[in-house]
Amino acid sequence: MTETADIVIVGSGIVGSSVAYHLTEQGCTNVLVIEREAHQGKGSTGKSMGGVRAQFSTPVNIQMSRYSIDFFSQFDEVIGHPADYRAHGYLFCATNERHLDYLKSNRERQAAMGVKNVELVSRDEIAKFVPQLRVDDIVGGTFCPTDGFVDPHSVMMGFMLKARERGVRLWLDTAVTGIEVEPANQTVLKDRPLRRITGLTTTRGNVSTPIVVNAAGPWAAEVARLAGTEVPVQPLRRQLVPTEPFDGLPQRFPMVIDMSTGFHFRREGKGILLAWNDPEETPGFKTETDPGFIEKILTRAAARVPRLAEAEVNPRRAWAGLYEMTPDHHAIIGAAPDVVGLYFVNGFSGHGVMHSPASGRITADLILQGHSNLIDTSQLNVERFASGRLLEETAVL
Ligand SMILES: Cc1cc2nc3c(=O)[nH]c(=O)nc-3n(C[C@H](O)[C@H](O)[C@H](O)COP(=O)(O)OP(=O)(O)OC[C@H]3O[C@@H](n4cnc5c(N)ncnc54)[C@H](O)[C@@H]3O)c2cc1C
């Protein structure tokens, strides 16, 4: 027998799980989530650093963060499951006036969007957060105390547990292998015939549904192609390096970002978690770690925090995952223009954990109400790439 659902979500990572939860918040529970792995969190979500911040440069990212951080601060009560939100802050450190001016103008934009707690900090104040930091070349920075970290796996599980409590079905170990469409009986759109969704084929059988949500993370372009359409999302490897237990830095300190190199770090349990965006990385489904990367990141770490040269690193504990990059480093949220019933919630470009509450809410709003009052959703639709209305987020870590 063919399964039926009002809405099918492809992918049960933090984003698909948030969409499922937010649909149930608005009374829609005949929802099926399909995940090809045997467990949730095997995609980007399980690899994430868990950072959340409102310190962005574009209004739409600031708005998404504002909603999401408020959400995380109440997550445990509302969802009945821990988010492990730790408001330890993000500390951006500038080593030249151009970067400092950039932080100052971002701060004004953040305040205009309602994020009024971003502080300008001096070199001496920065040194108080992490006395071991080399600050001789630092000219100042910004600190937001409500930025911090969550546990991505726990947030994902919380969203999904609550959604399932309300009737959402989750099929694990099931790959979506096809998306069925039929002509939508309307004239062509940009010389492509308009089609509508009728269902999907999966490794567990067929599903009849009028609505499919593409929440397939770095595999979003593949899932879009199953419906004969395109979404510009590319996988980009991202590697993280944890140190062994290290007490040469404070037990609690913010995420520290060295703007001169992009190197950033935070405490993770007894050790320190080191991160850096290697500009030489090229797109592709690469998830092995690269010993050359470890050398490069340790050089940058020791340059900013000389004590870190003493920290031990076991290369086997480093890991790599995939960022889901779009050409303008902003998410794509909204309906596909050429396939009625297909929705994208993709391409978070490294921010999908922190923006998962807002993106779930916006997607549910768009599907069930046709609009969202959280943001101006036209900014994030996929048509922006064809029409050249690109946004540019420069505060990508
Ligand atoms: C190393 C690293 C560090 C990061 N740090 C941060 C951070 O500090 N803060 C932050 O906000 N973000 C961070 N990110 C980004 C964040 O992890 C992602 O944006 C987010 O997890 C995306 O969630 P998702 O649910 O869309 O994708 P995923 O978690 O990848 O989930 C997609 C799911 O779709 C499933 N799927 C795909 N195709 C199919 C199919 N055909 N059929 C069925 N299922 C399918 C996959 O198996 C997968 O489980 C980081 C990412 C990495 C790799």
- Best CA proximity match to 161, nearest among 80, 45, 105, 56: 80
Confidence of residue 125 (pLDDT cuts 50, 70, 90): very high
DSSP, residue by residue, 311-373: S---GGG-EEEEEEE-TTSS-EEEE-SSEETEEEEE--TT-TTTTHHHHHHHHHHHHHHS--S
pLDDT in tens, 82-97: 999 999 999 999 999 9
Of ligand 1's listed atoms, the one at least distance from the Cα of 216 is: 34
Convert the pLDDT of each residue in 358-372 to its tens digit: 999 999 999 999 999
The residue contributing the CA closest to ligand 1 atom 19 is 352
CA dihedral 64, 67, 73, 75 (to 10 degrees): -90
Ligand 1 near 37 CB (within 6 A): yes
pLDDT tens readout for residues 318-340: 999 999 999 999 999 999 999 99
Residue nearest to atom 38 of ligand 1 (CA): 216
Q: How far is the CA of 51 from the centre of ligand 1 (A)?
A: 14
Q: What average pLDDT does this structure show over 21-44?
A: 98
Band of pLDDT at residue 388, cut at 50, 70 and 90: confident
Question: Which residue has a Cα nearest atom 2 of ligand 1?
Answer: 48
- Give the nearest ligand 1 atom to 17 CA: 25
45 CB near ligand 1 (under 6 Å): yes
357 lines ligand 1 (CB under 6 A): no
Reported as a single tens digit per residue, the pLDDT across 214-243 is 999 999 999 999 999 999 999 999 999 999
CA–CA distance, 212 with 347 (Å, rounded to integer): 17
Instruction: From the CA of 34, give the closest atom in ligand 1.
Output: 43
Q: Is the pLDDT of residue 46 over 90?
A: yes
Are 391 and 60 in contact by the 8 Å Cβ rule? The answer is yes
Cβ–ligand 1 distance for 360 under 6 Å, the answer no
